[in-house]
Amino acid sequence: MTSRDVVNVVQRRLPRKTKVGHAGTLDPLAEGVLVLGVGPAVRLVPYVQQQPKHYQATFRIGSSSVSGDLEGEITDFPDLPIPTRDQLNQAALNLTGEIEQIPPAHSAIWIDGQRAYRRIRAGEEFEMPSRKVQINTLEITRYEFPEVDLNIICGSGTYIRTLGIDLAVHAGSTAVMSFLSRIGVGPFHLTNSVSMDALREDALEPHFLPVSLAIQHLPCVKVTNEDAIRLGHGLCLDQTHLDETNPSENENIKEVAAMTQDGQLRAIVRLKRGQWCPYRVFPTREPE
């Protein structure tokens, strides 16, 4: 099942023309958390993607494939040395923090206007550009050669296949990914997820979550009812309006979530020429 397949299941059960989008593709091989935005919340998908992702993965040491996982033809290398756990632990330390990573060629990255995997399938040869990614945690939770289990917390844009392969390479071997589960994205956890059966059969509305979860990593301020109306009309607020409700003002903050007095998300506002101007505006419900 692809991420788009999940979106289609939900979209077919909602009123026509309701927008549905997902926050971060899961490969068909993978399982776990896929955050969906519904209706106006689709515009918050980029903010979900900014939050840390939590994965559990299994790699097979001493094997390799073009795709980096079991979907490609597997080649075994029995003559490679068997890494010790200490070597893998040291490699994990070297791969923690901000690192340079070269994404796999069999990925959905755009290269000169085309998806990389499509260019590979067409027989093209090209160089994948490296990128900086943030690895907060890279922990070896089980090692029984040839299998190693990893616990990973990382930033957006990280390729777990590449991370596991780099871990093995640092320890003098190579690897393929045999299992991947995303167990969390920010505040969205696997234990609170909705099963595919429930998405197909249950009423959907009880499963909706507050949009505020998508922007919990942003500074939040409460605005007056009058200012909430102004934001809804696309009007900017003087900087002092927000500063008065945000005593811990930080000059580096350029984007803020403006909440109504009853805790609903009214807008994402950005600082422009001394004013807080609406970048994303959201409908709010009237108090009951």
Asked if 64 contacts 177 with a C-beta cutoff of 8 angstroms, the reply is: no
Asked if 222 contacts 259 with a C-beta cutoff of 8 angstroms, the reply is: yes
Determine whether 212 is exposed, middle or buried from the number of CB atoms within 10 Å of its CB (0-12, 13-18, 19+): middle
d(CA 230, CA 32): 40
What DSSP designation does 247 have? S
Q: Residues 5, 27, 202, 238: which is the catalytic one?
A: 27
In a 13 Å sphere around the CA of 256, the CA atoms on its Cβ side amount to 29
In a 13 Å sphere around the CA of 103, the CA atoms on its Cβ side amount to 20
Tell me if residue 69 is catalytic.
no
d(CA 268, CA 209): 18
Residue 120 contacts by C-beta under 8 Å, 6 or more apart in sequence? Answer: 105, 106
d(CA 248, CA 222): 14
SS3 of 5, please?
helix
Catalytic residues: 27
